């Protein structure tokens, strides 16, 4: 597999709105039989392959027939990815910040879609 010049590796997570969080947990855990996944010892959702489906209660994007998930791209090193995106003139609405053991930031695509990216904090 050839490395991306921006350090992109894979889709890490997709956030899904869950107004009834208990019903959503039952669906993903019991109906779909997906294993729960934790980050920094906090359960954040369910694992599907290498992608985390994150359930968001009281989220800004309500469920809709229109596709509207939050996509998070795993990168080699988010601060380096941010620098390269800025060098290419890409808008960064959420500069990279550290949350627990991970860095997170976001960028806008050409249509204004917000895409998140993250990496582990490296020693």
> From CA 46, how far away is CA 80, in angstroms rounded?
28
Average pLDDT, the chain: 86
How many percent of the chain have pLDDT more than 90? 36
pLDDT tens column, 13-49: 888 888 888 888 888 888 888 899 988 888 889 998 8
Helix (H, G, I), strand (E, B) or coil at 21: helix
- pTM value is 0.67
Strand partners, 11: 73
Contacts of 25 (CB under 8 A, 6+ apart): 55
What domains can you pick out in the chain, each with its CATH number? 8-120 (3.10.180.10)
């Amino acid at each position: 597999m050839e490395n991306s010049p921006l350090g992109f590796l894979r889709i890490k997570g997709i956030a899904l709105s869950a107004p009834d969080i208990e019903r959503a947990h039952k669906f993903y855990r019991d109906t779909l039989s997906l294993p729960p996944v934790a980050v920094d010892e906090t359960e954040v959702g369910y694992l599907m392959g290498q992608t985390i489906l994150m359930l968001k209660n009281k989220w800004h994007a309500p469920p809709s027939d229109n596709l509207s998930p939050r996509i998070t791209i795993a990168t080699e090193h988010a601060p380096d990815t941010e620098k390269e995106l800025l060098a290419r003139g890409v808008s960064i609405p959420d500069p990279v910040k550290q949350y627990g053991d991970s860095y997170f930031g976001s960028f806008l695509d050409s249509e204004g879609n917000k895409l998140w990216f993250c990496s582990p904090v490296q020693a």
